[in-house]
Structure 1
Amino acid sequence: QAEDSDANSLNNKEITTIIRRNGFRFWGNRTPETNAYIFEVYTRTAQVLADSIAEAQFETIDSPLTPANVKDVISAIRAKLDSLVTAGKLIGAECWYDVVDNGTTDLRQGRVCIRYKYTPVPPLEDMELYQTFTDEFFGPAFAVLGGA
């Protein structure tokens, strides 16, 4: 894209836009967010992850709240997170039950809290390549000639 293009002007203001190059495509990685969700992919990852984990637990809602059932939910979430790490969709992730979040009153009311955390994969937004001109390879290259 030309430096003075509308797309670059928008990107410089942290606004992702759409360009037409071999079809339509998003142009720009950043959001106006300055803390956690600085990249579009971070936001999309959070939304897809929350939706897919919640959807996978649909059958569990209104089932008996037993330790075994909670362990099964945690195992299922861990398996999902592990598959996303293996597929390169996440850098890493964990899921756990914390007793501090799950007091007797909450459990008695049928409420359980399961925590998970993850690290999304950032886009390779900027790469610097440094070139160095050197004479250091002459010696090894011509050493093979030996006494020829």
Structure 2
Amino acid sequence: MTQLKPIIATALAMRCLIDEKYPASFTKSISNVPVPGVGGIVHPRTWDLEDPNTEVGYLNANDVTSVIQHEGFRFWGNRTCSADPRFAFETGTLTAQWLLDTIINGCFPFIDQPLTPVLVRDIIDSINAKLRATVAKGWLIGASCWYNDAQNNEQDLSQGLLVIDYDYTPVPTLENLQLNQRITDRYLVDFGKLIAQGA
């Protein structure tokens, strides 16, 4: 018996599956991953990998993820509804959330300790070590953390308030691969050598 399921429920299930499957799941969107257990699409739309002028291509161009059938059923599209281009990709939003949670949890041991310059250096060194390790794994392109005098004044510091700045570059998603095809004679220049190599 065929059972219809809301596509949003399937998308959420795929997000959970990817989170379990990938070590750095925040760098992988739900797009172009086979969806298990799906046997059909109620309202199929035209799609072609080489032609953006299809129904799915139109939806993608308007930041709407769709479902395609290509070696199984797959979500196709990486975009969010954010007006901020820094969070246009699903992975950009996931990376921001993961990184903030990771840094906050890593700073737990420093909370309620004496606020001294040594403590601040330890916090910055700890965060930078985590950022370097994350970059080394390929989960971020780059990242750094620092103390900013402009963000901290003596009144706030005296009340136990410390602001630490950090920046990062998330791993972008390859969404649009374009290939330039050229025909050339240059591989015929050493044609005789190619014949000799095969002898």
Paired residue type of 1:59: P
2:60 to 11, 30, 33: 11
Q: For each residue in 1:68-122, what CA deviation from the matched residue of structure 2 results, as whole angstroms up to 9, or x when unmatched?
A: 1111110111011111111111111110001111110011000111000000010
**Number of the residue aligned with 2:129:** 79
| Shift in Å, 1:19 | 6.8
Paired residue type of 2:64: I
Taking a change above 3 Å as real, the CA distance of residues 25 and 109 of structure 1, as seen in their structure-2 partners, is farther
Matched, 1:108 2:158: yes
Aligned partners of 1:28 and 1:66: how far apart in 2?
48
* Structure 1 residues 29-108: aligned runs within 5 Å: 29-34=78-83, 35-108=85-158
Aligned partners of 1:73 and 1:47: how far apart in 2?
20
Aligned partners of 2:106 and 2:136: how far apart in 1?
19
Paired residue type of 1:50: L
Report how many residues are paired. Answer: 145
Taking a change above 3 Å as real, the CA distance of residues 138 and 24 of structure 1, as seen in their structure-2 partners, is closer
Q: For each residue in 1:40-95, what CA deviation from the matched residue of structure 2 results, as whole angstroms up to 9, or x when unmatched?
A: 10000000000110011112111111111111110111011111111111111110
Which consecutive aligned stretches of 4+ in structure 1 deviate over 6 angstroms post-superposition?
Answer: 18-24
Taking a change above 3 Å as real, the CA distance of residues 128 and 20 of structure 1, as seen in their structure-2 partners, is closer
Using structure 1 for the length normalisation, give the TM-score.
0.83
Taking a change above 3 Å as real, the CA distance of residues 44 and 144 of structure 1, as seen in their structure-2 partners, is closer
| Shift in Å, 1:133 | 1.4
Q: Percent identity?
A: 43
Matched, 1:130 2:153: no
Aligned partners of 2:183 and 2:62: how far apart in 1?
38
Structure 2: 5+ residue stretches without partners = 1-44, 48-53
Taking a change above 3 Å as real, the CA distance of residues 74 and 26 of structure 1, as seen in their structure-2 partners, is farther
Aligned partners of 1:70 and 1:134: how far apart in 2?
60
- When the two chains are superposed, the root-mean-square deviation of aligned CA atoms in Å is 2.6
Structure 1: 5+ residue stretches without partners = none
Aligned partners of 2:46 and 2:137: how far apart in 1?
35
